[in-house]
Amino acid sequence: MSEGNRELEQIIKYMKSHWPSEVKPEWQVGLAEYPAILKKVVDDLTLAATKNRHLIRIAGLSGSGKTTQILPGVEAYCEKNNYSPILMAARRFVEYHPHYQEIKEYYGDENVRKMTDEFATIMLFLTLSELITGGYDIVLDVTLLDPEMEGILLKMVKENEYKFSLLMIAVSPTVTEQYLSGRAWRHSRETELEFIRATSKALEFYAENSPESRIIIWSVYDKPPVYDGPVKDCLKVFADYSSREELPKKDDDERRDAKIKYLTTAL
């Protein structure tokens, strides 16, 4: 078995164990179906994408503000630099599920994400592998995973000579739970605890295996970053801010605009 196939099996096994499909057996996606779906996805996503071998990783816990706080700044940065990156997030793959309509009608709109999570997370990593091999610019909006998965990603990034940056918000479980409480769809409490564990382990992994990679960390309390530098030196700052449990002030727009300004001048 080739190393690439072993890694593929490792990815699928990991995703199935963490986000097992709960849909009817006849609506679950078999391994033989993925290649055709992958081809369509790659064809769709690469129509207008640029190729500068640049990957910006937006990490952090669900509800920390990855999409609403950091992504606007990344989009502004890319526009300023004439990049047309491909946004990679699990939510983008839901509608590619071959039984999307049946699942939506049977389980309801509010449960589509949950019921397609296994498929979406597998597709995210399969597509990511294809795009990195092709040299496409990528914005990866997904929480940090266990070192075994981050190791596969880091290997792909290094082998294909990518410029790699990590952006994240340090937030405590108490605060992120408050943010998630207003969502129609969210992970279970068990899944969130797993994300918390995996995030710390993943940062330790990057500090050891890619120590000079740049990471920018914000908190939910401040407008400027609380850290901008090599990942090897960020662990204490991340831990300190992740332990603060007081709720932040409602200045989300101001903090978002501050990130846009910072990323368009400093990234």
The pLDDT, as a whole number, for residue 188 is: 56
The pLDDT, as a whole number, for residue 52 is: 96
Domains parsed from the chain with CATH numbers: 1-45+91-135 (no CATH), 51-85+138-267 (3.40.50.300)
The pLDDT, as a whole number, for residue 191 is: 57
CB-based contact 241:226 (threshold 8 Å): yes
Q: How many residues does the chain have?
A: 267
Type and span of the H or E element at 58: strand 54-59
Question: Parallel, antiparallel, or unpaired: how do β-strands 214-219 and 86-88 relate?
Answer: unpaired
The pLDDT, as a whole number, for residue 249 is: 76
172 CB-contact burial (10 Å; exposed 0-12 / middle 13-18 / buried 19+): buried
Q: Report how far residue 1's alpha carbon sits from residue 16's, in angstroms, rounded to the nearest whole number.
A: 21
The pLDDT, as a whole number, for residue 5 is: 66
The pLDDT, as a whole number, for residue 261 is: 96
Helix (H, G, I), strand (E, B), or coil: what is residue 89?
A: coil
The pLDDT, as a whole number, for residue 180 is: 60
Q: Which residue do the tokens 């296994």 mark?
A: 118
pTM score of the predicted model: 0.88
Phi, psi dihedrals of residue 168, rounded to the nearest 5°:
-160, 165
Rg (CA), the chain: 18
Tell me which residues of the chain have a pLDDT lower than 70.
Answer: 1-5, 176-195
